[in-house]
């Protein structure tokens, strides 16, 4: 069976050796030495000024909305994982959708200003499949209208734009370290922010504590545990290998499909991508379903990612998003992970191309 992704696992003995350090002290949570070490190493690896490791990748979005004091409407994208929109609703705000660019698949920056009202407090955009948004234009719009900017950068580990980490853009960026991501802690995530927000975000992720016996604000428990951090420390040394293997797979897919009628993801200029996903966009949904069935008949399981378009969620006010709805009905992510065998890769390519005839 070939799934759309496969968790990269370091040698078990390597993970156990790191975890033993926490085991010997009995310190399993509350920001132990492994969490602190992972944060320090990630700051260096990613080139970021600060990081707050968290227990998953959704809580950081919710914490960011809370910490920035957002109210009313938040402009966002309909083409993302559900956590982007559900976090807005969960925190008592209203998602105001702006359609996406048909090539980059990120929020269409040219349509943002038309969606701004007196009730708008922020822009929450997703760097889709690790592909950067038009961060400079969004920053200019936010500054002009005095809005906060949060980036859902769940797919962006290691991505840079104009030579610096994509996590350095916006007021706050969030990332997922879920087991399906190229860097992972089993389950986990992180917050990155401008220095002025660090203390508030840190407090919010730790019950609002100000020392062991005082509280400075409202907070929840979003702390990463030591077993999670141990996994991250075990995976991190393999990142070059993981990226190299994923790049080879992406290059093979692209070489095979560039001459077909499939639409491939266009990466924004000045970006160093991380090969996090391989989406292909078909001419219509029927063609997608035909290819998907053919792959599944060979125990190959791609994913309709992202589907459905989030403006069609049942718990929000319905808004028509022509481009997002069209792309969501036609996009399919093909298997991509370190360790995907060449024979399996060629089989996937051949099945897809056969069904396109």
Question: What pLDDT, on the 0 to 100 scale, is given for residue 338?
Answer: 97
Question: What pLDDT, on the 0 to 100 scale, is given for residue 213?
Answer: 72
Question: What pLDDT, on the 0 to 100 scale, is given for residue 218?
Answer: 87
Question: What pLDDT, on the 0 to 100 scale, is given for residue 311?
Answer: 97
Of 309, 267, 261, 307, the residue nearest 284 (C-alpha)? 261
Note the pLDDT tens digit of each residue in 262-271.
Answer: 999 999 999 9
Of 157, 174, 349, the residue nearest 262 (C-alpha)? 349
Domains of the chain: 2-98+105-237 (3.40.640.10), 238-356 (3.90.1150.10)
Question: What pLDDT, on the 0 to 100 scale, is given for residue 217?
Answer: 81
Question: What pLDDT, on the 0 to 100 scale, is given for residue 34?
Answer: 98
Segments of the chain scoring below 70 in pLDDT? none
Question: What pLDDT, on the 0 to 100 scale, is given for residue 207?
Answer: 84
Question: What pLDDT, on the 0 to 100 scale, is given for residue 190?
Answer: 98
Question: What pLDDT, on the 0 to 100 scale, is given for residue 216?
Answer: 76
Question: What pLDDT, on the 0 to 100 scale, is given for residue 209?
Answer: 80
């Amino acid at each position: 069976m070939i799934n759309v992704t496969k968790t990269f696992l370091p040698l078990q003995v390597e993970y156990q050796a790191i975890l033993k350090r926490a085991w010997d002290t009995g310190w399993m949570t509350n920001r132990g030495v492994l969490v602190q070490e992972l944060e320090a190493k990630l700051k260096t690896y990613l080139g970021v000024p600060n990081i707050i490791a968290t227990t998953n990748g959704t809580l950081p979005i919710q914490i960011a909305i809370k910490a920035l004091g957002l109210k009313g409407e938040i402009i966002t994208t309909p083409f993302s994982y559900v956590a982007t929109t559900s976090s807005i609703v969960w925190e008592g705000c209203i998602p105001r959708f702006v359609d996406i660019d048909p090539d980059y698949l990120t929020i269409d920056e040219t349509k943002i200003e038309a969606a701004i009202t007196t009730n708008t407090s922020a822009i929450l955009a997703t760097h889709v499949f690790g592909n950067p948004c038009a961060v400079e234009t969004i920053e200019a719009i936010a500054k002009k209208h005095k809005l906060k900017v949060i980036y859902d950068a769940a797919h962006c580990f290691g991505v840079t734009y104009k030579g610096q980490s994509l996590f350095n853009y916006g007021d706050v960026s969030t990332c997922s370290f879920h087991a399906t991501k190229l860097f992972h802690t089993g389950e986990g995530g992180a917050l990155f922010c401008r220095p002025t927000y660090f203390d508030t975000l840190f407090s919010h992720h730790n019950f609002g504590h100000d020392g062991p016996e005082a509280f400075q604000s409202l907070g929840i428990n979003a702390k990463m545990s030591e077993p999670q951090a141990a996994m991250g420390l075990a995976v991190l040394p393999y990142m070059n290998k993981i990226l190299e293997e994923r790049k080879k797979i992406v290059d093979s897919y692209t070489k095979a499909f560039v001459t077909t009628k499939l639409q491939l993801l266009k990466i924004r200029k000045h970006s160093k991508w991380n090969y996090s996903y391989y989406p292909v966009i078909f001419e219509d949904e029927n063609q997608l379903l035909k290819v998907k069935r053919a792959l599944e008949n060979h125990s190959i399981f791609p994913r309709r990612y992202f589907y459905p378009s989030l403006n069609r969620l049942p718990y929000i006010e319905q808004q028509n998003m022509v481009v997002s709805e069209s792309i969501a009905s036609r996009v399919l992510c093909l298997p991509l992970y370190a360790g995907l065998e060449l024979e399996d890769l060629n089989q996937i390519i051949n099945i897809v191309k056969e069904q396109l005839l």
